[in-house]
Amino acid sequence: MAKDKYSKGRPYAPSLGDKFWHAIWLSGRSNKELEQDFHYAAMVGKLWRAEYLLNEKKVDIASCDSFAIRWAANGGHADMLKLLFRHGGADVNARDGEALIRAVSQGHHAAAAVLLENGADPARQDFKSLRDAHKRKDMAMLAQLLPAAPTAKPLVVEWVAALKDPARPPAAEDTAQLRLFGRYLADDVPPPAPSAGGPKPPR
């Protein structure tokens, strides 16, 4: 089936709403209005519209402190985040890591993974994303975040000590948490010293 005029040469198919917007609303839009249209598209996951505005109308992907990245993350729109990072120019850690914090707080694992792959820093705002995932006992999210947070060792040591506190009643997830935290902390253990005359460990 041949692509219509809206889809030709584009990786995404427009919805009926996109076609209506393009035919009725687009003409005469000011730059500010186009920017608002782009922010809305990112916020609700309208891939065709966001891609059209970036390519054809040259909207600023980083406008309003990378609003598009932050609110695509809030909505869990992993494919939108991939689109935005593919275009480049937005700050994944804008507003002190707000995008990752939003994704984690909403439990959006796929969106968090895309952010981490593109340099999101879990250490921002005193490890707020890590603390939130820990508070909600989201083990899958913690497993994603910890490899990107090498400076979180003291915080994880605190969590392990709390789990091992004999005055604390045990919980069902304790074993899984201790296993995850133990693997993370073990990465920081130095290699054993070589025996006299033996080979040195690789640096």
The DSSP-derived string for 12-40 is: SPPPHHHHHIIIIISTT--HHHHHHHHHH
Could you count the other beta carbons within 10 Å of the beta carbon of residue 40?
16
Residue 10's pLDDT is 66
Of 111, 64, 109, 112, whose CA–CA distance to 91 is shortest?
64
Q: Domain residue spans in the chain?
A: 60-186
Of 153, 84, 157, 164, whose CA–CA distance to 117 is shortest?
84
What are the pLDDT digits (tens) for 148-170?
A: 999 999 999 999 999 999 999 98
What are the pLDDT digits (tens) for 171-195?
A: 888 999 999 999 999 975 434 434 3
User: Which fold does the domain 60-186 belong to in CATH?
Assistant: 1.25.40
Residue 186's pLDDT is 92
Residue 7's pLDDT is 53
This prediction's pTM: 0.85
Residue 8's pLDDT is 56
Residue 105's pLDDT is 97
Residue 5's pLDDT is 55
Residue 11's pLDDT is 74
Q: Which residues in the chain show pLDDT less than 70?
A: 1-10, 188-203
Cα separation of 191 and 22, whole Å? 61
Residue 187's pLDDT is 79
Give yes or no for a contact between 61 and 54, defined as CB atoms under 8 angstroms apart.
Answer: yes
Name 173's Cβ contacts closer than 8 Å, sequence gap at least 6.
137, 139
